[in-house]
Structure 1
Amino acid sequence: MAEHDRNPFAQDQLKREAADWFLKMQEPDAEQRHRPAFDQWLARGAMHRAAYNRIANLYLTSENVDWINLPPAQPVRGTMRRTTFAIIGLAMLVSFLVWKLMFSPMGTSGPELAASPAPGRDMVAAQLVTRLGEIRAVRLADGSRLTLDTDTLVTVDFRKAMRMLRVEHGRARFDVAHEPRPFIVDAGESEVVAHGTTFDVSVLERDTVHVHLLRGSVEVRRSELASGRRGPALAWLRPGEGVSIADRDPAAVPVKPVREAVADWPSGSVDFKAATLGDVVRMANRYSATKIRLGDRQMAAIPVSGVFRVTDADKLATSLALLLNLQLARKPGEVVLMIPGK
């Protein structure tokens, strides 16, 4: 990575370079004149790609603003009255929080948190779900942290002897807290046994489970057999590795490195390196009812690098059109990217 990528005082220079490249890439003959040098500049690091995207997004959000005919500023009225109401509301909120701390039972949690077993009870189960386009982080009662990707359903079943979870569909990240009870995530016909770790479990395609380890170690094995015996081990993962298991195939599949973009999904902004337009579009279409469609199948192979927010299909399509010099057409329920002249 270039030295000035780590220098906070170089940010203004990076912004100027990004703005300069943005203007160059708007020229009619930009692909012929500037594309090779532009790709080299983007490849210098994630900060370059992020700086360029910030300039592009600023342009997209400001191009519809009529800066000349802005409405006049409105006078401020009732400032003292609003301040009084705000103080009263704040006092009521503080009083409520104090009451909760003093009189609510300790160790309980809201409906979005999995509770610990209460005295005399064997277990407490809960279901956590996200809507289309939603990414949600949840703290579990044992201190573990669970992040649910879009359109995901996870069952949390904390028992006295073990912590059992199941990914019904979608994708979830598990940041596991240390404690004596085993932490086991079930998905499809397989399960993941965590050993103080952070990992993703995905059920995005029918009958196929993907496991990606970020930190620690995990054992991937078949679920408990009908006889009650432990299922056979399939793989042990090291950080940065992943494995895909098909329910219909009982054999272990090869462990392989996982692309860095997969690790970024909880932020909603993904740093794509050496990716293709098809990769970006496929990921974005999981988050939105409005789908991005390519006007030509061959466009899926167009190389793409940059940091993109994949949770807003319309803005992403507009950024891709500007970045790759593509045409954009909006239709009901979809945004179509097309090669100019085709």
Structure 2
Amino acid sequence: MEQFAVKPMITFGTGALAALEELPGERVLVITDGFLAKSGLLDKVLAHLKGRTVEIFDQVVPDPPIDLVAKGARALADFKPRTVVAFGGGSPMDCAKAMLLFGKKLGAPGEITFAAVPTTAGTGSEVTSFAVLTDPVRGIKYPLVDDKLLPDQAILDPALLAGVPPAVTADTGMDVLTHAAEAYVAKGASPYSDALAEKAFTLAWENLRPAWESKGESRARRQMLLASNLAGMAFNAAGLGLCHSLAHALGGKFHVPHGRLNALIFPHVLHFNAAGKEAAVKYGQLARLCGLAPNPRALAAGWNRLRAQLKLPDRLAACGVETRQLHAALDELTAAALGDLCIPTNPRSAPAEDVKALLKELA
């Protein structure tokens, strides 16, 4: 017996921010980062929260560290909001989820409505029970997976993506493709997650480069926002895999943007997984849906072409990670990848020697 469920209520399209006005309670905590707080975008959110007592936690940084989450959880418990709004990309989303989880243990009210408003098309975090925290001292990323992390409402307004720089569009967009592709072949895949993954992948494949090339609001950016959301639902149900496990390990150690890592790692993991017949067939199906020859090799080649078009690196050396640094950290990185919560749903078992071999390929 299998089950499939989607919790968040999703409001999407032009003017979706108006849904903020329907959120309950008089006390609202908005969790975001310093850039968004000063960019003018936050004003669009606050305009729909007039008449409420609003507190803003704008200290989120990329790859939220554990000590920041602890500070935020204490602030949340002290403020006692009825509603929490996470506003931003993956980092504010992850930080908000963890703040809520731990804030309730510190005395925050048990009943808090959690709304997520993404400003990038990448993580899909607004519809997932995943969050990733960082221990900067040990250089390790810790994925949290708990249904308690799921937002109650996701609000997708494409106008918020108008000012996203091309480099961020590229990084986050490749993350969307990786989410969809990994979910499609994951051990937890089902007909429901497959439908979401197929749609997410083809939408992103068609629209990522136009979104990267466009300025301001565009149809391609709107489609990427939807693709990100669909991919999030897909991997939340099916799981991810070895590509994300390696990206978490490398990102925690060398602080390379997550989507950029996925973009260069995925073709290597694709070839590894394609040694299994079922994964090979499904990679071929994705290739066919994108107008490519229906086999894994064609999908990997198309991926590499797209990555080059987006001016993303194809080796860790181009990300500032020297070969000697990588080799010196092989044991540490392998242990981190094998201990990652994303690896159990990879379609093919990955012994330590195979993980090390894949890491060496990335140098």
What's the TM-score, normalizing by structure 1? 0.29
TM-score w.r.t. length of structure 2: 0.28
Which structure: larger Rg? 1
More helix by share: 2
- Greater fraction strand: 1
Q: Which has the higher contact order (CA 8 A, sep 6+)?
A: 2
